[in-house]
């Protein structure tokens, strides 16, 4: 099976019924500054000059449009913005779902002892309430996987120190 066929097979699986949409974006609570995802995106992809230019051009258009044309233009912009916002949220939700699915597959590929430890950690994390109920589905499993990865790294470091002759507890 070629690379393109593999990608299409994976895409079909992502969009199948087994991957019904979970609204991760909506599950994250906004604060006074706005939605946390939007705040981060503004930091990662700052477009302040472009936004100022858009507003300037929009003001120029609004100043010269006749009342009927102005209403149509504003309705068009509102519709475009609604569609863009829905698509952005869907991309975010799909990316989050893909990340969770990838981590689950990785978790299943761990050594049996590590996978059992990660599952126990996920259940413990959920029981403690450290991850709020409104957090995206599967977050406890991802956190547990990270914990297992840290434990595995520490174990590797201890083995490496022992091979070099350093005491196990030294840094």
User: pLDDT value at position 169?
Assistant: 57
The answer to whether position 139 is within a domain reads yes
pLDDT tens by residue, 9-55: 655 555 554 556 677 787 777 788 888 888 888 888 888 899 999 99
Give the range of the structural domain holding residue 129, as residue numbers without chain letter: 110-171
The answer to whether position 43 is within a domain reads yes
Tell me, yes or no, whether 145 and 88 share the same domain.
no
**Cβ neighbours of residue 147 under 8 Å, at least 6 residues apart?**
118, 121
The answer to whether position 38 is within a domain reads yes
User: pLDDT value at position 143?
Assistant: 73
Flag whether the pTM goes above 0.75: no
Total domains, the chain: 2
Q: Which of 80, 108, 136 is the last residue of a domain?
A: 108
pLDDT tens by residue, 69-102: 999 999 999 999 999 999 999 888 888 888 877 7
Tell me, yes or no, whether 28 and 102 share the same domain.
yes
User: pLDDT value at position 59?
Assistant: 93
User: pLDDT value at position 39?
Assistant: 85
Q: Identify the bridge partners of residue 31 per DSSP, sorted by sequence position.
A: 34
The answer to whether position 95 is within a domain reads yes
Q: In angstroms, rounded to a whole number, what is the distance separating the alpha carbons of residues 66 and 50?
A: 26
| pLDDT interval class at 149 (50, 70, 90) | confident
């Amino acid at each position: 099976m070629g690379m393109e066929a593999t990608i299409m097979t994976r895409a079909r699986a992502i969009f199948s019924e087994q991957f019904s949409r979970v609204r991760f974006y909506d599950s994250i609570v906004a604060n006074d500054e706005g939605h946390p995802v939007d705040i981060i995106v503004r930091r990662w992809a700052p477009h302040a000059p472009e936004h100022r230019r858009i507003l300037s051009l929009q003001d120029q258009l609004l100043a010269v449009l006749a009342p009927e044309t102005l209403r149509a233009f504003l309705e068009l912009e509102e519709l475009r913005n609604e569609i863009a916002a829905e698509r952005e949220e869907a991309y975010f939700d799909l990316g989050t779902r893909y990340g969770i699915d990838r981590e689950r597959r990785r978790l299943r590929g761990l050594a049996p002892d590590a996978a059992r430890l990660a599952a126990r950690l996920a259940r413990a994390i959920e029981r403690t309430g450290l991850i709020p109920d409104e957090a995206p589905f599967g977050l406890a499993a991802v956190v547990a996987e990270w914990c297992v990865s840290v434990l595995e790294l520490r174990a590797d470091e201890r083995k490496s120190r022992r091979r070099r002759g350093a005491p196990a507890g030294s840094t």
